[in-house]
Structure 1
């Protein structure tokens, strides 16, 4: 019970990854504020914690507005007397290629993921600072925010923006003893269920079977519970010196993502004009250009979707 006496808010925790985070925090001793837009889902999530002796309450509201952020902090303080941990997990998807993506598709995803993270963290940090609490901010990123992904302009922008905010917050919160980190999960979710590449892994999980080793080891792809341990660790006193980091986790793999750094540097007397770039760019940087999108190894024949359908 290493989080005993701590109080956590987990946004978007009615189901999926968010619920796994909330349940793990509760299992470690923290009281938890559940958040979802569906009251029935929120209630079930609370029951899943209290039935095992944990403490939980729910706030049913859409994340994004300052009003919701204030409600979450108020609920934690009113129900449990304090706040120590904030996990910003709430999110939605509106995947479309650029020319098909509407203003509404873009704005909704940015509002929930990016603005929702901003408003909730701002309110939590204000509470931490005012009450001298060495709080823990744990935000949720994505490989898409690190590498890009076809059809996810809005989601990539939001997740990359979260990482940028966390690096800034790590600087601003340091004096107050508050940490801010990004967890980048790779796990079976409602989104990955529709991707043929992950079909055998998702099917195995649904049947309660062990996921094929290829997914867990080669791809670092696992279940929601594989991610929850890292969230609980970053919420603990053992992680007091870890801040401003982007940490990937999934299956059997743990990764520390680098901050962007220059991969090559060249100088030219008087600066780089148009003609200079035409003459030199390819020779200097052509073999150093960076890739985009995630690159997966080829699936073994026995794990390909057509192999399952042939049986």
Structure 2
């Protein structure tokens, strides 16, 4: 097995995508520290892994506080003797438009996603650097962090921030042999179940039926298990040369996202004054402006509902 003898931490792994990641890592031979705020879900996740022949232990605690990060690393080392892989998956949503978003809405989401990723990675890296055997850090991003999404100021900020940290950490940890990557999953989860556009795909997944090709192929939208293979790959020796990347995955599709680059570069002797910009903008710059938000093809008639 590709991860035989390795030990992984997966935050937010009581259900959904995190559960699929934990199960796939265990299937490939890794022992897993399951983390969730829901004790029942965490225990069920551990039971499912053990029933399939894997090894797992649960730690019930919210990510964000440094104390949780310390407890996660300590649990891995005390229970399984080492730590090799971290997957920062834990997340929460508090969606609303900017002018209605409260301080609490913003802080809660940023604390779990952004600070939770920071504190957990920091503690893991401290251990990995001291152990001196390299390691794998896999942080979970989102299309919202790449493109923006209506009503998700807090979530977009956190997920974009995670990608920024991943690129920085890849530079800082290269000499230690620790790879750091971001995965952008697109899958049927509790978060996507409320989006009418995906209703037919989510319904098929819930009923254990094959997901229509339009969703799996054209949209790259699939099940949690479709994402888990990439997580295990990035945690393995086969991905030793992969770091600092943002990789999208879902359904039958995988994507490597570009890093931000200038879409256009122009010069004006003496600098760009107001008058110079006003004169040049329509012909030199307007066509280079970038779109925002995710772009979906028109939903085929057979998958439409009144809400979509």
Q: Please indicate the TM-score interval, normalised by the length of the shorter structure.
A: over 0.9
Distance in 2 between residues matched to 1:11 and 1:133, nearest whole Å: 22
CA contact (8 A) 2:142 2:185 kept: yes
CA deviations 1:244-288 (Å, max 9, x no partner) are 000000000000000000111100111111121111122211111
CA contact (8 A) 1:301 1:307 kept: no
The question of 1:177 aligning with 2:146 is answered: no
Q: TM-score, normalised by structure 2?
A: 0.99
- SS at 2:193 equivalent: helix
Aligned to 1:160: 160
CA deviations 1:53-97 (Å, max 9, x no partner) are 110001100000111000000000000000000000000000000
Question: After TM superposition, where is structure 1 displaced by more than 2 Å over at least 4 residues in a row?
Answer: none
Distance in 1 between residues matched to 2:282 and 2:43, nearest whole Å: 59
Aligned to 2:190: 190
Distance in 2 between residues matched to 1:169 and 1:57, nearest whole Å: 28
Distance in 2 between residues matched to 1:46 and 1:61, nearest whole Å: 15
Distance in 2 between residues matched to 1:272 and 1:307, nearest whole Å: 47
Distance in 2 between residues matched to 1:307 and 1:103, nearest whole Å: 31
Gaps of 5+ in 2: none
Distance in 1 between residues matched to 2:24 and 2:32, nearest whole Å: 10
User: What is the Cα-based RMSD across aligned positions, in Å?
Assistant: 1.1
The question of 1:269 aligning with 2:269 is answered: yes
The question of 1:297 aligning with 2:297 is answered: yes
Aligned to 1:209: 209
Distance in 2 between residues matched to 1:74 and 1:157, nearest whole Å: 30
Aligned to 1:29: 29
Distance in 2 between residues matched to 1:61 and 1:282, nearest whole Å: 54
Aligned to 1:199: 199
- SS at 1:144 equivalent: helix
Distance in 2 between residues matched to 1:75 and 1:197, nearest whole Å: 41
CA contact (8 A) 2:196 2:307 kept: no
Aligned to 1:81: 81
Structure 1 position 306, deviation (Å)? 4.4
Aligned to 2:136: 136
Aligned to 1:38: 38
> Paired residues, what number?
308
Gaps of 5+ in 1: none
